[in-house]
A = this chain, B = another copy of it.
Amino acid sequence: MTIKDVAAYCGVSVSTVSRVLNDHPDVKDDVRQRVRQAITECGYVPNNSARALVLSRSTAIGVVSRGVDNPFLSSLIRVLSRQIHQLGYTMVLHQIATQDDEVQAAAVLQREKKLLGVIFLGGRFNYTEQELRQLTVPFVCCTYTNTFGDLDRDAYSSVSIHDEREAEKAVRYLVHHGHRRIAVLLDDPADNSIGQLRFQGYRRALEDCGIDYDPALAVITGDYALSAAYDGVCRLIDSGVGFTALMAISDNLAIAAIKALTDRGLSVPEDCSVIAIDGLDISAYTVPTLTTLCQPAAEMARESVQMLIGLIEGTGVHRHRLVETTLRPGGSVAALADT
């Protein structure tokens, strides 16, 4: 069943059918009706390959996701997938390992799948114009922005929280509960990414509150593996350095931290308060419930798709959308008892 068959079926030319298919204006209303009907009756489905060939463009939007086992990104991907499909495009999902380069991956994908645009999830914050020259389609950074790079602000789009400020907010929350010996759990304080920014927020909050930074309280895991976080927190406890609270840069890390604390005989929040940033569903079911700053995942995903499609269809411009987290109070933070 091709366009030709449909044309023959209702006695018009292929070009007329094509016009109807593409909502061109120059078709008489009754003819348009007839063609529409024929299309339904024949159960005709346009051949996307042929269309892509002649238009020399596909309908594919790339989603390149860093951090394969990050459940927060999984939740974003679910919404992206739905949204992209709904708007008539195809999602090409590409997950890369932590050590892989997402720009490289996107560039390859762009050529292979003729991408119209790319949404990056959880990437680096330090792209240079240089390296992005390989990428010739519009892209939007979801969950981050190009803080450490030299990109022109109107050469790309982004949807993110203000990582530094939100981390600061989390730490201040602990300080307001009387804590001053606050540990931090993160992948890497110089990852040119979320870790670095949230670590900066941690430092800034301490500074603003007149608390000295103690490097012994920083647990660096190297990645987002639960096991590394668990081991790191165990080592922190075993080191004997005193602390009454911990800020984890992600819910996942916080879950591992709570486990480590508990296994070492420390109660959360009595002996140690824990706060994080993300707002996973599952972290509402830890014991105790994790207190966390929730990112508006669905909103971020929707916004990213809208921005990108605006760019693709030429009706939008590059924008940078900053969204806010909302505190989900759990049971993992308690006021420090006076002693």
Contact = CB atoms under 8 A, between A and B. Distances in A.
Nearest to A252: B282
Interface in A126-149: none
Contacts of A95: 78, 81-82
B285 A48 contact: no
Contacts of A48: 49, 58, 112-114
Contacts of A255: 282, 285
B282 A226 contact: yes
A114 B49 contact: yes
A52 interface: yes
Contact of A93 (B81, B226, B259): B81
Interface in A96-148: 111-114
Interface stretch (A68-76, A235-243, A305-313, A319-327): A68-76
A197 B81 CA distance: 30
Contact of A74 (B53, B71, B281): B71
Contacts of A36: none
B284 A262 contact: no
A230 interface: yes
A282 B280 CA distance: 12
A45 interface: yes
Nearest to A255: B285
Interface residues of A, number: 44
A287 interface: yes
Kindly report how many copies of this chain are found in the complex they form together.
2
B78 A69 contact: yes
A114 B49 CA distance: 9
Contacts of A50: 49, 53
A230 B95 CA distance: 32
Interface stretch (A7-15, A26-34, A84-92, A178-186): A84-92
Contacts of A71: 71, 74, 282
Interface in A283-300: 284-287, 289
Interface string A139-166: 0000000000000000000000000000
Given A49-B53, A281-B69, A90 B113 contact: yes
Contact of A285 (B68, B78, B90, B256): B256
B285 A259 contact: yes
B226 A285 contact: yes
A258 interface: yes
Contacts of A94: 81, 85
Task: Across the A-B interface, give the 10 residue pairs with the lowest CB-CB distance, nearest first.
Answer: A49-B52, A49-B53, A259-B285, A45-B111, A262-B287, A49-B49, A74-B74, A287-B287, A50-B53, A255-B285
Given A47-B53, A48-B58, A85-B94, 7 more contacts: A47-B56, A48-B112, A48-B114, A49-B50, A74-B74, A258-B287, A259-B289
13 contacts: A48-B49, A48-B113, A48-B114, A71-B74, A78-B95, A81-B93, A82-B95, A85-B94, A91-B92, A255-B282, A255-B285, A262-B287, A282-B282
Interface of A: 45, 47-50, 52-53, 56, 58, 68-69, 71, 74-75, 78, 81-82, 85, 90-95, 111-114, 226, 230, 252, 255-256, 258-259, 262-263, 281-282, 284-287, 289
